[in-house]
Amino acid sequence: MYIYYNDKFINVGLTSHKDSLNSAIIIDNIEQFSFLPDNILNLFDKYDAIYLGNIADYKVLEHLKSCFNYIEAAGGLVRNELGESLMIFRSGKWDLPKGKMELGESSEECALREVEEECGVAGLELGSKICDTYHIYNMYNQWVLKKTYWYNMKSSLDQQLIPQLEEDISQVCWVSSGQLSDRLSNSYPSILEVFTTDETDATDASENK
């Protein structure tokens, strides 16, 4: 499990050889690690990654939830009949549509609503769940831990895309597989994780047929 902070991350229980890093710190005992935001930021000033080995995911999340304002969101990786992916351009980065869950709303309902609102699409077909991503950030002087549920979706190419300007979205477009690498080079690590996980799942499903 990765928990992202900008381009850096906390890696929980994963092997370090998967990541290409300049510097990292490895912590094997949860009692040796303070989950307070100031401590995490101090470590990120020195290291690209914090590895928490031999520690269960749920224990890490419990500690982080007690130190951060915890919120949940959901979003979608939408593809059309040509296999193109729906992406948005927001605040100088390429992103996928997503947003905060409302009271009483399921993650599936939230994901469909947010994609419709942010991209102006209709008639979405909900597919399988891809993964959950986590990231921490500061909003209005408050530290937040956000969990985002991601789902596959299908949509027709034959409809007008309308960016939700009030959410700082300046562009919505279909991205071909040939354009995807360029878009992801100016995106977020969590968005790359969504695409990578979806591609891995698709490959595994094909091999198991």
3-state secondary structure at position 96: coil
pLDDT band of residue 105 (cuts 50, 70, 90) is very high
C-alpha 75 chain-centroid distance: 9
Q: What percent of the chain has pLDDT over 90?
A: 71
At 200 the pLDDT is 72
Please write the tens of the pLDDT for every residue from 30-48. 787 889 999 999 999 999 9
Four-CA torsion 123, 204, 19, 12, nearest 10 degrees: 80
C-alpha 80 chain-centroid distance: 21
3-state secondary structure at position 30: helix
Please write the tens of the pLDDT for every residue from 161-201. 999 999 899 999 999 999 999 999 999 999 999 999 998 76
Distance, in Å, from the CA atom of 55 to the CA atom of 13, rounded to the nearest integer, reads: 6
At 45 the pLDDT is 94
Instruction: With a cut of 60, say whether residue 206 has pLDDT above it.
Output: no
What pTM was computed for the model?
0.91
All structural domains of the chain, each given as residue ranges with its CATH number in brackets, are 2-67 (no CATH), 73-207 (3.90.79.10)
Distance, in Å, from the CA atom of 99 to the CA atom of 115, rounded to the nearest integer, reads: 8
Determine the average pLDDT of the residues in 122-149: 95
C-alpha 183 chain-centroid distance: 15
List, in sequence order, the alpha helices (H) in 14-89: 37-46, 57-67
Please write the tens of the pLDDT for every residue from 37-83. 999 999 999 999 998 877 788 888 999 999 999 999 999 999 999 99
Distance, in Å, from the CA atom of 105 to the CA atom of 68, rounded to the nearest integer, reads: 22
At 30 the pLDDT is 79
Three-state DSSP string of 7-26: CEEEEECCCHHHCCCCCEEE
Interstrand relation of 85-90 and 169-175 (parallel, antiparallel or unpaired): antiparallel
Record the tokens describing residue 85, joined without a space: 């992916």
In terms of pLDDT, which residue wins out, 26 or 207?
A: 26
Q: Tell me whether residue 158 is exposed, middle or buried, using C-beta atoms within 10 angstroms of its C-beta: 0 to 12, 13 to 18, 19 or more.
A: exposed
Q: Which residues pair with 52 in a beta bridge?
A: 12, 27
Distance, in Å, from the CA atom of 28 to the CA atom of 10, rounded to the nearest integer, reads: 13
Q: Which of 89, 11, 102 minimizes the C-alpha distance to 55?
A: 11
